[in-house]
Each structure stands twice: as structure tokens, then as C-alpha cells.
């Protein structure tokens, strides 16, 4: 008996799975994955469903739904301070608290809990849909903060060896919106994540201009955690990036494309055409991250572009492709290809999708 997958995703798209298994404990999750692997069964591990694009044909295999729960304090380790994050920012020093969180926990309630408990480090990641287990896979980031800055360990099942391992940050190979887990989706199953958070009523220094302006601050200033969380939620709601049944613009996979990271020379040539008007962010390695939203809009794909009955760009944010109610995954992919081809044609920049494709693969052109 097949099981529908569309209701388990924020896009509400895609066909059924041949089999669905719910794993409520870590032992059940590990056992379900090992059983499918031993049988040579195609396997999809699914939790919040916020960053997946399921094919209309569905998934011809077993889907393991991660429903694990639990947040526990970890005693301070007798080891040296963790290394800098992938972005170069130093990890937080004591006083700090380390929390181990089950992969099936929903992310935003965990962030709300941290803010309420006076634990700083994830406040700018408020309102992001999905599960805790997805955060290291995507190296979730927003408003100048990345989850890799606070992750000190990822507990994961290695499907090659069948063993459960505790992976330090360097083994996770975090980079912009990616990690070792995402680069090899067939190998690792995230079971739990450990975050080290500062015991501090104030946020980390604000790094993102839009957020600083919303708070009435300068870059580098700090603010009460609750104020930062509320400002981030307000900004995200204004872009349709907080899941809300009353907001059709939130029926999406979030930002569909990542911001392209260009060499300094390539960006300089591009910026020269527009007198430096392209929003951009210099990277520690000398490259420059350019705004995908700006490129999309200036290639002719504005808010609302598409079919208002099926699939269209959000009316609030150019990076979100939304299911307007009658869409299919094929419609979504067609619009995404149209947008990517337009940006490539206009600017010579290739856009890369952020979601994971299930039952099919992304190709820039049909």
C-alpha cells in the first residue's frame, strides 16, 4: 500500500512512496535504515519536508519518517575549544551550554526555547521550517548566522559501515548551504546534533544589514535575544518565509536557489555593468557572494511571475517558487529551469537549487 508524500512536504507536491515507516526513537530509526539497506531497498529519510522536491511519480522505495524527540544537556567536555566555523568566525567561548537534540525535533520551537532560556547562537535562524536533523545537512543559515557556528558534534549512522558515529565539525565539511552530508546523501543519516550556545541575554554581533536596520542598530551591535528573534520573524513573514496556512506564499521549499559565489574578477566584471548595484557579500576566501534574488528580478522574473493557479514565484520574495494549489512538480521544475536559463542568458551566472530532489534529478535544461 502506497503512502502519500505531498502532505509531508512544505511544497505539498509529489507522488506517493511505496512504503512509509515512522521511526519514533533513535533505535527504530537505525533499525529501519539498516533493514532497508540490507534488502537493497531504495531509501529516503524524511523529517520536516521543508527542503525537498518530490517527483510527481513519487518514490519507488521506503520512506523513513524521522519522528524522534528529545533535548538534553551535555556535560562540558574536557577538551580544547572547537575550531573556527566554516565562515571563519570563532566559536563561542564559555560560559556556554551544550545541548544534544534529536534529529526529529522541529527546528523553530528549539530556537524559541534557546531564546527563552537566554542561550545565544541561533537567534537569527528563527522561523526556518524543518527539523533539527536537516540543519547540518544544509548548513542552515540566515541573516548573517550559520548553524555550523554552533555545532560541535553530529551523531550519524554511516550506511556504508552500518555504524553510528560522532562526527566533529571538521568531519562535517561545512560550506555555504552544504556539508559532507548533503554532498553524499546516500551515506549519512543524522540522528542527533549537539549545539554549543552562549549563556548570554544578548545576541551575537549583528552581521546582516537588513536585520540591523530592522533593529535600529549598526552592524556589529548586539541586541536582546527576544528582540532579534521577533525582528527576524517579522522579516521572514514579510517574505512569505514562515510557514502559515493563511499565506499561500509560504507553500514553498523556502529559497529555491542559493546565492551564487563568484570569483572576485567575475563579480567585478558583472558589477561594472550595473555600477556596483548588485547586492553582494565578500567571502573570507576572496570570492564574492551575489544576490540570486537581484539577478532573478533583473533578468525579468519578478514577484508573481508564473501561473497564479499552478506554480509561480512568490508575491513577496523572488527566491521562493510557490505551489498555488493546482501545481505539479513538473510545473515547478519547468519554472525553475526557465528562471535559471534566464539568469544564465542575461548575466552568464549559473544558479544552483537549494532543495534536495527526490525521485528525479535537477538539470538546468530539459
The catalytic site residues sit at: 177, 255, 354
Helix, coil or strand: residue 361: coil
Cell 524543518 identifies what position?
130
- Name 337's Cβ contacts closer than 8 Å, sequence gap at least 6: 363, 364, 365, 366
Cell 507553500 identifies what position?
251
Provide φ and ψ at 272, rounded to 5°.
-60, -30
Helix, coil or strand: residue 109: helix
Torsion angle defined by CA atoms of residues 356, 331, 329 and 138, in that order, rounded to the nearest 10 degrees? 20
Pairing status of strand 59-66 against strand 43-46? parallel
Cα separation, 140 vs 128, whole angstroms:
9
Instruction: Name the E strands within the chain.
Output: 3-4, 16-23, 43-46, 52-54, 59-66, 71-74, 96-102, 119-120, 141-142, 145-146, 151-158, 163-167, 188-199, 252-255, 261-262, 280-282, 288-290, 311-313, 320-323, 356-358
Q: Are 93 and 120 in contact (CB under 8 A)?
A: no
Cell 503512502 identifies what position?
3
Amino acid at each position: 500500500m502506497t503512502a502519500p508524500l505531498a502532505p509531508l512536504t512544505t511544497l505539498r507536491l509529489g507522488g506517493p512512496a511505496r512504503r512509509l515507516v515512522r521511526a519514533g526513537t533513535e533505535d527504530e530509526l537505525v533499525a529501519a535504515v539498516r533493514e532497508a539497506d540490507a534488502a537493497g531497498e531504495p531509501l529516503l529519510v524524511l523529517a520536516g519536508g521543508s527542503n525537498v522536491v518530490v517527483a510527481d511519480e513519487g518514490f519507488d522505495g521506503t520512506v523513513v519518517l524521522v519522528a524522534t524527540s528529545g533535548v538534553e544537556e551535555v556535560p562540558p567536555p574536557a577538551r580544547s575549544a572547537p575550531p573556527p566555523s566554516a565562515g571563519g568566525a570563532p566559536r563561542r567561548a564559555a560560559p556556554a551550554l551544550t545541548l544534544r537534540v534529536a534529529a526529529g525535533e522541529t527546528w523553530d520551537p528549539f530556537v524559541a526555547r534557546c531564546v527563552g532560556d537566554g542561550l545565544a547562537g541561533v537567534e537569527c535562524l528563527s522561523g526556518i521550517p524543518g527539523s533539527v536533523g536537516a540543519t547540518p545537512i544544509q548548513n542552515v543559515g540566515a541573516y548573517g548566522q550559520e548553524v555550523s557556528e554552533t555545532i560541535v558534534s553530529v551523531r550519524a549512522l554511516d550506511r556504508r559501515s552500518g555504524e553510528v558515529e560522532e562526527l566533529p565539525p571538521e568531519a562535517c565539511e561545512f560550506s555555504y548551504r552544504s556539508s559532507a552530508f548533503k554532498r553524499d546523501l546516500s551515506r549519512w543519516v543524522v540522528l542527533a546534533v549537539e549545539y554549543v550556545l552562549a549563556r548570554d541575554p544578548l545576541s551575537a554581533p549583528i552581521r546582516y544589514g537588513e536585520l540591523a536596520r530592522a533593529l535600529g542598530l549598526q552592524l556589529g551591535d548586539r541586541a536582546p535575544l527576544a528582540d532579534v528573534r521577533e525582528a527576524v520573524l517579522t522579516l521572514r513573514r514579510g517574505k512569505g518565509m514562515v510557514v502559515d496556512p493563511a499565506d499561500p506564499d509560504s507553500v514553498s521549499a523556502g529559497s529555491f536557489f542559493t546565492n551564487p559565489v563568484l570569483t572576485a574578477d567575475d563579480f567585478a566584471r558583472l558589477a561594472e555593468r550595473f555600477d556596483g548595484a548588485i547586492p553582494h557579500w565578500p567571502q573570507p576566501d576572496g570570492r564574492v557572494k551575489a544576490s540570486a534574488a537581484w539577478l532573478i528580478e533583473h533578468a525579468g522574473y519578478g514577484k508573481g511571475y508564473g501561473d497564479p493557479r499552478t506554480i509561480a514565484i512568490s508575491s513577496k520574495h523572488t527566491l521562493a517558487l510557490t505551489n498555488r494549489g493546482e501545481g505539479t512538480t513538473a510545473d515547478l521544475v519547468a519554472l525553475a529551469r526557465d528562471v535559471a536559463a534566464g539568469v544564465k542568458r542575461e548575466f552568464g551566472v549559473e544558479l544552483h537549487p537549494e532543495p534536495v530532489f527526490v525521485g528525479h534529478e535537477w538539470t538546468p535544461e530539459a
